[in-house]
């Protein structure tokens, strides 16, 4: 079963920051938080991941709470092309073929 819960859908105005929350209150110490997004009829696209520190890359920022029970993905300046389903996942990093289970995700609508 998925270990994350996310809002079903969110709206965001074009050009504004999109803040997507994720709850992972049962996260284990060796599990990382990953974010992917999926545009209709395509495979998921990797966005960002982190363990406990906040992370930033060219696509987004990831803010993880100190207790690691929740996180927020921030798209700083949302565009219409950011409309997609965003998945927050927790997974173990390392050898062993650990499963990667997807939850329902958040459907983000970016509006002009």
CB 109 within 8 A of CB 85: no
Comparison of 41 and 53: residue with beta carbon closer to another protein: 41
For the chain, the maximum distance between any two Cα atoms, rounded to a whole number of angstroms, is 45
Using CB under 8 A as the binding rule, the residues of this chain from 20 to 79 that contact another protein are 32, 34, 36, 41-46, 49
> Beta 45-50 vs 61-64: how paired, if at all?
unpaired
Near another protein by CB under 8 A, which window of 16-24, 66-74, 75-83, 102-110? 102-110
- Residue 101 tokens read as 């289970």
Q: What DSSP designation does 53 have?
A: S
95 binds another protein (CB under 8 A): yes
Q: What is the size of the binding site for another protein (CB under 8 A)?
A: 27
Q: What's the CA gap between 57 and 43, in Å, rounded? A: 21
Residue 85 Cβ, how far from another protein at the closest point, in Å?
8
Give the footprint of another protein on this chain (CB under 8 A). Answer: 2, 32, 34, 36, 41-46, 49, 87, 91-105
């Amino acid at each position: 079963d998925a270990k994350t819960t996310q809002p079903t859908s969110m709206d965001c105005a074009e050009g504004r920051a999109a803040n997507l929350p994720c709850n992972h209150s049962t996260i284990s110490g060796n599990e990382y938080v990953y974010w992917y997004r999926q545009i209709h009829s395509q495979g998921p696209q990797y966005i960002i991941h982190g363990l406990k520190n906040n992370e930033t890359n060219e696509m987004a920022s990831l803010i993880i709470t100190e207790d690691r029970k929740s996180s927020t993905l921030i798209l700083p300046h949302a565009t219409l092309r950011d409309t997609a389903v965003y998945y927050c996942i927790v997974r173990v990093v390392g050898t062993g073929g650990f499963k990667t289970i997807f939850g329902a995700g958040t459907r983000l609508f970016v509006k002009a």
